[in-house]
Structure 1
Amino acid sequence: MPDANSKRAQVDALGYAPTAVKEFKRGEEMVARFFFVQDPDGSANVGCILHLQSGTAVPVQHWVEVLDQALA
């Protein structure tokens, strides 16, 4: 992510409380810059999403969908 700091600020402004930007290097070469977002209202397991969704009117999404919407 070339501009991880501004994207992190964008996600933070939406209330998702991202972690600090991390850097992944191979020697001195920058390989990646990224941050993590915790989503207590989501799941990475499709079976769990379907099960949770069956008991509530609140949308339950895969964490990738939540992040995609936040960065759109």
Structure 2
Amino acid sequence: MAKSELKPCPFCGGSARILRLRGGKYCVACSSCGARGGAVWVKDWHDTPFVAQGQAAKLWNARNEMIGG
């Protein structure tokens, strides 16, 4: 799994990490408080987890900006 640049949690400032969920989904979650970003599925047209992980990181970072982190 490639490292993506993840911003700290907008709620507690904790570090974030990419999680693999059931059903071929990925999301980013805070290691401290457990806050989660949106889930992204590995799609047939990407067929690589790397793309889904990058999209999950983008969702997390965009959510962080919207909250003011």
Identify whether the pair has TM-score above 0.5, normalized to the shorter chain.
Answer: no
Question: With structure 1 as the length reference, what TM-score do the two structures score?
Answer: 0.30
Structure (1/2) with the larger helix percentage: 1
Structure with more contact order per residue of length (Cα contacts < 8 Å, sep ≥ 6): 2
Question: With structure 2 as the length reference, what TM-score do the two structures score?
Answer: 0.30
